[in-house]
Amino acid sequence: MEPAAVARVITRMIDHIGLNISDFARSRAFYEAALAPLGIRTVRTETNTLGNQALLMGDDEIFFVIADGEQPGEGSHVAFRAKTAA
């Protein structure tokens, strides 16, 4: 299976993944290089009013986010897709 196809299969099960990082520039460079072969690219970046940055990545939709607003390991999450909340 092609890397981009693998990424699409994963995103059907997982809505999004969010990771907290400590060095935005270094982490951005790492994840852009590591995920590019899978067809995952930067969609946009955001900065909140406190100056915290987020990098939103995906293919046709955003499903991978890194952000520097919290300590790494605190608040990281994986959100799975489901047809209902039950």
Say which CATH number the domain at 56 has.
3.10.180.10
Residue 65 within a domain: yes
Answer yes or no: is 22 within a domain. yes
Query: Would you call 61 helix, strand, or coil by DSSP?
Result: coil
> Would you say residue 51 lies in a domain?
yes
**Of residues 17, 81, 9, the one with CA closest to residue 55:** 17
Angle at alpha carbon of residue 56, lines to 7 and 44, rounded to 5° = 120
The answer as to whether 85 is a domain residue is no
Residue 18 lies in a domain: yes
CA atoms within 13 A on the CB side of 61: 9
The three-class DSSP label of residue 81 is coil
Q: Domains in the chain: how many in total?
A: 1
Domain-located, residue 66: yes
Local confidence band at 7 (pLDDT 50, 70, 90 cut-offs): low
d(CA 20, CA 14): 18
Question: In the prediction, which pLDDT does 1 show?
Answer: 65
Residue 26 confidence class, pLDDT cut points 50, 70, 90: very high
If you average pLDDT over residues 13-40, what whole number do you get?
Answer: 90
Residue 54 lies in a domain: yes
**Boundaries of domain holding 50:** 3-80
